[in-house]
Structure 1
Amino acid sequence: MNKRIISLAVLAAIAAPLSQVQAAGFQLAEYSSTGLGRAFAGEAAMADNASAQGRNPAMLTYLEGRQLSAGGIYVMPNVDVHGDVTLASPFLGSQTITMNADALDVAGDALVPNFYYSNQLNDQWTWGLALNSNYGLATEVPSTHATAIFGNETAVTTVEFNPNIAYKINDAFSVGAGVRIVYGDGKIGASTPAWVDGIKAIPTLPAQVAAALPPSGTSLKTMEGDDIAFGWQLGASWQIAPAHRLGFAYHSGVELELDGHASGLVYNGGQDVEIEGYMPLELPAFAELASHHQLTDNWAMHGSINWTQWSVFDELVAYFPGEQKPIGDIESDLVKEENFKDNWRFAIGTTYQVNNDWVVRGGVALDKTAVEDEYRTITIPDSDRIWFSAGAGYQATKKLTLDFAVTYIKAHGDAPINESMNLLGMAQVNFDGEASGDVWLVGAQLSYRM
């Protein structure tokens, strides 16, 4: 496989170019439309269809016969960054230049697909396959935008494949395990903003310095790469009583080594060469404790507490072991400090069986941010999020079920951003602003029992 390097805000993970607005950091929760309808509350203790293994492989033991489930969730984000860029330079004396740097709609729409299959071998053993998403990122501003020097493009396309197996110990306890096979491919870039042309026009700027400055829109750093890495997942369920169940699931971290090439003015000085390199990137482990309670024949409540080990996402460093080195013959490049922290998500949901054909769902969730205010960046404008979800399932035939869901996610509270950069010793560049936004998720899913 021809691999390439991802840097700057290269982040990683799953199933089509994805918009980084669904969960903390660049994590995705959109693994099924069934779960979307209840804000993914109680997922590790639920077994509606074959998608149950996406969160907890142990829930496979609750599925009879052979089942498949397939669908997609369409993500429609509206993420805006408002702020100003300020330039300070010895060539300006005590003066500074401040310009508007609003970036509107930085994340595009995307479809997140999924597919699941389960096969009950006997009363104890069930196996399954899952193809879903756990991480993803896509943000972009024009190459001449005022903030493009901090990063103008970040796109990750990845797929996660999980073979799973589950064993029913007795009527109360089940366990499950699976392998995480993660493929990731991405591209990241930073370019010269339009205001560089203004710097070149400063009367006190030496002519040779002005001539050395690249024109606006010039690629400063462009990096591309892909890799395959492996992890594992474990799950368990406890049927406390016929109407009450607990579930627990743990998904290990996955260490990607994004190996490939880098280019752009900062690395190759404008020459037509690509420099070999790699960047270690660890996708965090995550866990869920969930409960399901059947309060009446028609009505159930469920809840979840999720934890993600975002503290492993501390910094991004690119390494260049090949003969062709970047300018200055550097062996490595500290691309960006992120300083994420572990985060928590809390969700509560409900399911109501209207009649033999229809079931309705609802849920709310609070997804805490994975980054402190002082470390938030334009490329990852993370903040607390509140989820409001509703969904429905229709039993079309004895074997076929259709699920539909819609979710509205609103960023909660202020999300200030302050980034700075030294421009070749000629100017200090600072961005001061805040991120805001919301997102609509619309999902549909087909489940079939064979």
Structure 2
Amino acid sequence: MKKRMLTLAVSSAMLGAVTQVHAAGFQLAEYSASGLSRAFAGAAATADNASTQGRNPAMMSYLKGTQMSVGAIYVMPDVDVKGDISISAPALGIEHYQFNADAIDVADDAVVPNFYLSSQLNDNWVFGIAINSNYGLKTQVSVDHNAALFGSETSITTLEVNPNIAYKVNESISVGAGLRLVYGEGKISASTPSWMGALPLSDSIREQIPAAGTELKGMEGDDIGYGWKVGASWQLNADHRLGIAYHSSVDLELKGQASGLSYTGGQPVNIEGYLPLELPATAELASNHQLSENWSLQASINWTQWKVFDELVAYFPNDIKPVGQLNSDLVKEENFKDNWRFALGSAYQISNSWSLRTGVALDKTAVEDEYRTATIPDSNRLWFSAGTEYQLTPKLAIDFAATYIKAIGDAPINEQMTLLNLAQINYQAEASGNVWLVGLQLSYQL
């Protein structure tokens, strides 16, 4: 058995790690602290400040003058994947070996900043610009972790610049549209786990196995994608409003370099390639109801077209290709389904300067149990949010919000890998966890 034999066999399983970059459960909803305080209920029908254009550009028609909002949300995930790796290779004299493969706290903390500006051009037209992030994540285990064969690191950073325009048709109807410019960069890798050194193999075979922590496969690259969004609102009467918004999909091709023994065979060559990823379309139907002078109620239904995320194919168009690879490679089938999110929120005006908000949401998973992987430990989630807004001056307001997200239900993982029909590797685990979100935002009317 040669080193190449082992490294080539991990190709299909490892590249599943990149799906975590843009997969369900890791789409960032955190566009503002004011929205976070209600678990983003009613976001497409509520015009708190300039950040409203993050969900529905039509809502800018309710903003007077020039307004600016700037803030950030601190994301603190606590995600554990606990399980075992089992190996069976009768041809190599290995009947059954099992190793613990618990991965504790696999997702890093992150800051999601945002900036919004809206300017009323006249009584009917409002222009705005939004700068935020809709996707982002980093998960990592040690390079010699017992599950590192299935992916040791996955990271993604995105930045979206979004110019918007809103038009007030009449006292009841407003419409809006915007352009989505998305920059994304990502990195994935897999490496040799330490359990390989513990297998009862002959010295001649052991010499040909890469040392624990050796990179077997890695890719990193970036791209800019384009999309659009539209929205509308209907003011039924002075107290009740409906909003609807649609964000188109955005196609990215993460272009860059491939590395690791599986791609280069240990040779000092550069392997160019790209991995197309489609960020799915989303839609929201929202409502905002003023129940009394001080109390309002918000609600939202969100849909994401995750069924477009069914497989990943890597392409290597140049003459230099990965060892043993063709110009393209079907690296993994995902079989995602569309998912839904339901949110209900409320706000209470304590005084002219101070208001309290709260919200709950059910965020449905886009991954069936049979397709879940360690790199996408997604499950159904419950959101519990609360926050406050304080008017520091007639033109300056500060928002603070906190949210606790709890995974609900079982999230089993069952992955398999075959090494050239000689060894069968099974990874069985259970994912669990929670996330804390804390947001701060300043809004100013110029």
What range is the shorter-chain TM-score in? over 0.9
Q: Which amino acid aligns with 1:182?
A: V
Instruction: In structure 2, list runs of 5 or more residues that go unmatched.
Output: 1-13
- Deviates most, 327-336 or 380-389: 327-336
Output the CA distance in 2 between the equivalents of 1:391 and 1:331.
52
Q: What residue number does 1:225 align with?
A: 221
- Deviates most, 211-220 or 230-239: 211-220
- Deviates most, 383-392 or 336-345: 336-345
Tell me the SS of whatever aligns to 1:380.
coil
Tell me the SS of whatever aligns to 2:196.
helix
State yes or no: 1:171 paired with 2:171. Answer: yes
Q: What residue number does 1:287 align with?
A: 283
Encode CA deviations 1:236-257: one digit per residue, 9 max, x unaligned.
Answer: 0000011000000000000101
- Aligned-pair distance for 1:371? 0.4
Tell me the SS of whatever aligns to 2:377.
coil
CA contact (8 A) 2:387 2:402 kept: yes
Output the CA distance in 2 between the equivalents of 1:187 and 1:240.
48
**1:76-91 alignment runs, 5 A limit:** 76-91=76-91
Encode CA deviations 1:269-303: one digit per residue, 9 max, x unaligned.
Answer: 11222201111110000000000000001000000
Q: Which amino acid aligns with 1:292?
A: N
CA contact (8 A) 2:35 2:41 kept: yes
What TM-score do you get using the length of structure 2 for normalisation? 0.95
CA contact (8 A) 2:66 2:117 kept: yes
Query: Given the alignment, which residue of 15, 18, 22 partners 1:10?
Result: 18
State yes or no: 1:234 paired with 2:230. Answer: yes
**1:116-195 alignment runs, 5 A limit:** 116-195=116-195
Q: What residue number does 2:353 align with?
A: 357
Query: Given the alignment, which residue of 309, 312, 322 partners 1:313?
Result: 309
- Percentage of identical aligned residues: 65
Q: Which amino acid aligns with 2:99?
A: M
- Aligned-pair distance for 1:335? 2.2
1:12 and 1:127, CA in 2 relative to 1: closer, same or farther beyond 3 A? Answer: farther
CA contact (8 A) 1:12 1:283 kept: no
1:150 and 1:442, CA in 2 relative to 1: closer, same or farther beyond 3 A? Answer: same
- Aligned-pair distance for 1:26? 2.1
**1:404-423 alignment runs, 5 A limit:** 404-423=400-419
Q: What residue number does 1:40 align with?
A: 40
Encode CA deviations 1:109-164: one digit per residue, 9 max, x unaligned.
Answer: 11000000000001100010001121222111111111100001000011011000
- Deviates most, 145-154 or 207-216: 207-216
CA contact (8 A) 1:154 1:186 kept: yes
Q: What residue number does 1:376 align with?
A: 372
RMSD: 1.5
Q: Which amino acid aligns with 1:409?
A: I
Output the CA distance in 2 between the equivalents of 1:212 and 1:332.
28
Q: What residue number does 1:74 align with?
A: 74
Q: What residue number does 1:109 align with?
A: 109
Output the CA distance in 2 between the equivalents of 1:304 and 1:136.
23
Instruction: Give the ranges of 4+ consecutive aligned residues of structure 1 lying more than 3 Å apart after TM superposition.
Output: 11-14, 91-94
**1:228-307 alignment runs, 5 A limit:** 228-307=224-303
Q: Which amino acid aligns with 2:64?
A: E
CA contact (8 A) 2:19 2:375 kept: no
- Aligned-pair distance for 1:7? 5.0
CA contact (8 A) 1:11 1:136 kept: no
Encode CA deviations 1:66-125: one digit per residue, 9 max, x unaligned.
Answer: 000000000111000011100010245572111111100000111000000000001100
Output the CA distance in 2 between the equivalents of 1:370 and 1:329.
31
1:429 and 1:25, CA in 2 relative to 1: closer, same or farther beyond 3 A? Answer: same
State yes or no: 1:214 paired with 2:222. Answer: no
CA contact (8 A) 2:134 2:158 kept: no
CA contact (8 A) 1:118 1:129 kept: yes
- Aligned-pair distance for 1:196? 1.0
Q: What residue number does 1:433 align with?
A: 429
Tell me the SS of whatever aligns to 1:123.
coil
- Aligned-pair distance for 1:400? 0.2
CA contact (8 A) 2:21 2:155 kept: no
- Aligned-pair distance for 1:8? 3.8
1:253 and 1:260, CA in 2 relative to 1: closer, same or farther beyond 3 A? Answer: same
Tell me the SS of whatever aligns to 1:10.
helix
Output the CA distance in 1 between the equivalents of 2:330 and 2:440.
42
Q: What residue number does 1:3 align with?
A: none
Q: What residue number does 1:27 align with?
A: 27
Output the CA distance in 1 between the equivalents of 2:384 and 2:421.
48
Q: What residue number does 1:17 align with?
A: none
CA contact (8 A) 2:77 2:434 kept: yes
Output the CA distance in 2 between the equivalents of 1:52 and 1:290.
12
Q: Which amino acid aligns with 1:169?
A: V
Output the CA distance in 2 between the equivalents of 1:9 and 1:399.
46
Output the CA distance in 1 between the equivalents of 2:256 and 2:351.
55
Output the CA distance in 2 between the equivalents of 1:25 and 1:220.
27
Instruction: In structure 1, list runs of 5 or more residues that go unmatched.
Output: 1-5, 15-19
Q: What residue number does 1:367 align with?
A: 363
CA contact (8 A) 1:183 1:229 kept: yes
Q: What residue number does 2:323 align with?
A: 327
Tell me the SS of whatever aligns to 2:324.
coil
Encode CA deviations 1:220-273: one digit per residue, 9 max, x unaligned.
Answer: 111000000100000000000110000000000001011111010111111222
Output the CA distance in 1 between the equivalents of 2:187 and 2:36.
29
Output the CA distance in 1 between the equivalents of 2:21 and 2:141.
21
Output the CA distance in 2 between the equivalents of 1:397 and 1:66.
16
Output the CA distance in 1 between the equivalents of 2:368 and 2:153.
23
1:25 and 1:274, CA in 2 relative to 1: closer, same or farther beyond 3 A? Answer: farther
Encode CA deviations 1:399-433: one digit per residue, 9 max, x unaligned.
Answer: 00000000000001110001111124332111001
